[in-house]
Amino acid sequence: MADKYAQLVNQGLGRNVAKKLGLPQPAVLRRYQPGEPLITGPILVQGSTAGADTLATQLLAWDLDVRRHPVPREKLGAIILVLDELERPEDLEEPVLVVGASLRDLARGGRVITVSRPASETDSPAAAAARQGLDGFLRSLAKELRAGATGNGVLLAEGVQIASPSALAAVRFFLSGRSAFVDGQFLKISSPSGELPRDPEKPLAGKAAVVTGAARGIGAHIARTLHRDGAAVVLVDLPVAGEHLAAVANEVKGTALQLDITRKDAGQRILEHAVQRHGRLDIVVHNAGITRDKLLANMDQSRWSAVIGINLAAQLRINEALLASEHFRGAPRIVSVASTSGIAGNRGQTNYAASKGGVMGMVRASAPLLAAVGGTINAVAPGFIETEMTERIPFALREIARRANSLQQGGRPADVAEAIAFLASDAAAGINGEVLRVCGQNMVGA
Ligand code: NAD
């Protein structure tokens, strides 16, 4: 699963040869390690609104080094562009040009983050043009950044201020190494609810979480990350994966539940296990998923129904059981694993893309149901992730898929896990019904 090419071009001779030949040079990404600073280097907060001042003050309260104006030739950890009062396309010009002039000072693994309002049908045409214009701007800028730097945006819905917990938490997530493989994405904050954690290193302290498909791959990493962040974890997988499941459960001091999630009573079994063994259930991560690729012309009923049954129908049924239970109350969280295939489509994956597109539809339509019980439901859509699933792709195709993103490399299971842990936290209470791509800004799809 190692990306040998990336290792080669990041060492002495290999680096020089790749440079001379103009070959892709994927950077070593800055990933989160407990105890490490949120970001190294000063943060330039660009923007002249009250929101920009508020954010700068908050960053100072987090002991970060903040600049309100560029200092010539000073290396920057991040640039945050606050444009929360955009009214006309002309409003973009001055701030984006200041950002442009500072880009050459952005450190390796640096961050550019925009904070703005989403364009909506109730905006004046000029305001909507400016707001949607920022969308295109950020996505293009992210493609221009190099050396593992990323560009992402926080969107504040009407009535949500930058000081609201989820907006600040989203800025923190994008600044940190937790978002290493999230690039060119926007995350909308739809409500001012939420609470920043007392201990930023243990945002899930006291929570009980369930992860399906946890015996290996991305699921095992989700379990490890939720445990690291303080949650007690129930690990669910098929009985045939029992040995691996037990090993990961031991590693994270969690409990194993051997269960086929397509069973009609799967939701009930999950609830019973979590409540009996951990006294509660706060977080459910729907990660279990399969591929059964075939061109549609050769598709048979068993391939179609297996993929829809495991990747989508099981989630719908389990969610119904969760929502009906008095044990899934307070601030419950559901996070589903979708895929960029469900957004962009993929040859040979009509069944898989239907299931993953379906997950995103389910998440959007379930958001009000979760909000009614004080909770949220969101999806994470991974792009190319280095796992046993993608190891099986033929070499040439794998190389193309792996490099076809702005970071020119595959993501790691831990990158998907970090996004899920963030969406599962209390601080993310204002994010509901969203799909966050973890794809290095994959060239395919939006
Ligand atoms: P994987 O095949 O390594 O792991 C999936 C796990 O789910 C396995 O342990 C399997 O036993 C379990 N599982 C399958 N059917 C089950 C069932 N009926 N009940 C309980 N458990 C079941 O896959 P992965 O690469 O780690 O992918 C995890 C998720 O991420 C999947 O939903 C996948 O579609 C999605 N995803 C992966 C990638 C990637 O690049 N690997 C990209 C996009 C999305």
* Range with the poorest average pLDDT among 23-32, 219-228, 264-273, 427-436: 23-32
- Whether 290 is in the pocket of ligand 1, judged by its Cβ within 6 Å, is yes
Q: Which CATH class is domain 208-438?
A: alpha beta
CA of 286 to the centre of ligand 1 (A): 10
What are 81-129's pLDDT values in tens digits? 999 999 999 999 999 999 999 999 999 999 999 999 999 999 999 999 9
For residue 256, which phi and psi values (nearest 5 degrees)?
-100, 140
Which pLDDT score is estimated for 446? Answer: 43
Q: What is the pLDDT of residues 179-213, one digit of tens each?
A: 999 999 999 999 999 889 989 999 999 999 999 99
Q: Which residues pair with 233 in a beta bridge?
A: 209
The pLDDT score that the predictor gives to residue 15 is 67
Question: Is the pLDDT at 18 greater than 90, yes or no?
Answer: no
Mutate to test the pocket of ligand 1, among 287, 308, 405, 415 (most ligand atoms within 8 A of CB): 287
Q: What is the predicted pLDDT for the residue at 444?
A: 65
Q: Could you tell me the pLDDT band of residue 1, with boundaries at 50, 70 and 90?
A: low
Ligand 1: residue of 389, 390, 420 to mutate (most ligand atoms within 8 A of CB) is: 389
**334, 366 in Cβ contact below 8 A?**
yes
For residue 428 the two structure tokens come to: 């993310």
User: Is the shortest distance between the CB of 258 and ligand 1 below 6 Å?
Assistant: no
Range 264-289 average pLDDT: 98
Residue 408 pLDDT grade (very low, low, confident, very high; cuts 50, 70, 90)? very high
* 351 Cα: distance to centroid of ligand 1 (angstroms): 15
Write the pLDDT tens digit of every residue in 142-188. 999 999 999 999 999 999 999 999 999 999 999 999 999 999 999 99
Task: For ligand 1, say whether the CB of 261 is within 6 Å of any of its atoms.
Answer: yes
27 exposure class (CB count in 10 Å sphere: 0-12, 13-18, 19+): middle
For residue 6, the model assigns a pLDDT of: 77
Please tell me if the CB atom of residue 260 comes closer than 6 angstroms to any atom of ligand 1. yes
Q: How far are the Cα atoms of 119, 166, 203, 431 from residue 193, in angstroms, in the given order?
A: 21, 7, 16, 9
Please give the radius of gyration of the chain, using alpha carbons only, rounded to the nearest integer. Answer: 22
Residues ≥6 apart with Cβ < 8 Å to 176: 32, 38, 39
Counting ligand 1 atoms within 8 A of each CB, the residue from 224, 264, 318, 387 with the most, and so the one to mutate, is 387
User: What is the spatial distance between Cα 419 and Cα 355, in angstroms, rounded to a whole number?
Assistant: 21
What ranges make up the beta strands (E) of 229-299? Answer: 232-237, 255-258, 283-286
- Percent of the chain residues topping a pLDDT of 90: 88
| C-alpha–C-alpha distance, residues 399 and 390, integer Å | 10
Q: What is the pLDDT of residues 285-305, one digit of tens each?
A: 999 999 999 999 999 999 999
Same fold, 31-189 and 208-438: yes
Ligand 1 atom nearest the C-alpha of 352 is 34
Looking from the CA of residue 416, the nearest atom of ligand 1 is 30
Mean pLDDT of 269-285: 98
Q: Which helix (H) or strand (E) holds 43?
A: strand 43-46
> What whole-number distance in Å separates Cα of residue 177 and Cα of residue 375?
26
Residue 43, beta-bridge partner list: 66, 78
Question: Which CATH superfamily is 31-189 part of?
Answer: NAD(P)-binding Rossmann-like Domain (3.40.50.720)
Strand partners, 286: 336
CA of 350 to the centre of ligand 1 (A): 17
Residue 215 Cα, ligand 1 centroid: separation in angstroms?
A: 9
Closest protein CA for atom 32 of ligand 1? 289
Number of residues that this document lists for the chain: 446
**129-148: average pLDDT:** 97
- Element at 379 (helix H, strand E): strand 376-382
Overall average pLDDT of the 333-359 stretch: 96
How far apart CA 403 and CA 401 sit, in angstroms, is 6
Residue 445 has pLDDT above 90, yes or no: no
Just list the catalytic residues.
352
Q: Is 363 a pocket residue for ligand 1 (Cβ < 6 Å)?
A: no
| Any ligand 1 atom below 6 A from CB of 385 | yes
CA 141–ligand 1 middle distance (angstroms): 33
- Average the pLDDT over 411-432 and give the result: 98
Give the start-to-end residue ranges of the domains of the chain. Answer: 1-28, 31-189, 208-438
Tell me how crowded residue 392 is: count the other CB atoms within 10 A of its CB: 10
What is the pLDDT, as a whole number, of residue 401?
Answer: 87
Structural element, H or E, at residue 82 = strand 76-83
Q: Sign (positive/negative) of CA torsion 133, 138, 143, 144?
A: positive
What does the alpha-carbon distance between residue 376 and residue 284 come to, in Å, rounded to a whole number? 11
Q: Which residues pair with 385 in a beta bridge?
A: 411
Closest CA to 216 of 445, 437, 413, 10: 413
Mean pLDDT over the full length of the chain: 95
Instruction: Give pTM, 2 decimals.
Output: 0.96
**Coil, helix or strand for 219?**
helix
| Strand positions, DSSP E, 201-244 | 208-212, 232-237
Is 338 near ligand 1, meaning CB less than 6 Å away?
Answer: no
Across the beta sheet with 333-337, what order do the strands follow? 255-258, 232-237, 208-212, 283-286, 333-337, 376-382, 435-438
Residue 410 Cα: closest atom of ligand 1 = 40
For the beta carbon of residue 40, count every other beta carbon within 10 angstroms. Answer: 16
Residue 199 burial (CB < 10 Å; 0-12/13-18/19+)? exposed
- 1, 411 in Cβ contact below 8 A? no
- Per residue in 352-377, pLDDT (tens digit) is 999 999 999 999 999 999 999 999 99
Q: How far lies 271's CA from each of 55, 114, 335, in Å?
A: 40, 40, 16
Residue located via tokens 């409003």: 91
A 10 A CB-CB count for 443 gives 15
Asked whether 333 and 424 are in contact (CB, 8 A), the reply is yes
| Residue tagged 């601080």 (tokens) | 427
Can you give the pLDDT at residue 259? 98
Residue 349 near ligand 1, beta carbon < 6 Å: no
Q: What is the pLDDT of residue 180?
A: 98
User: Within 10 Å of residue 13's Cβ, how many Cβ atoms?
Assistant: 9
Ligand 1 touching residue 271 (CB < 6 A): no
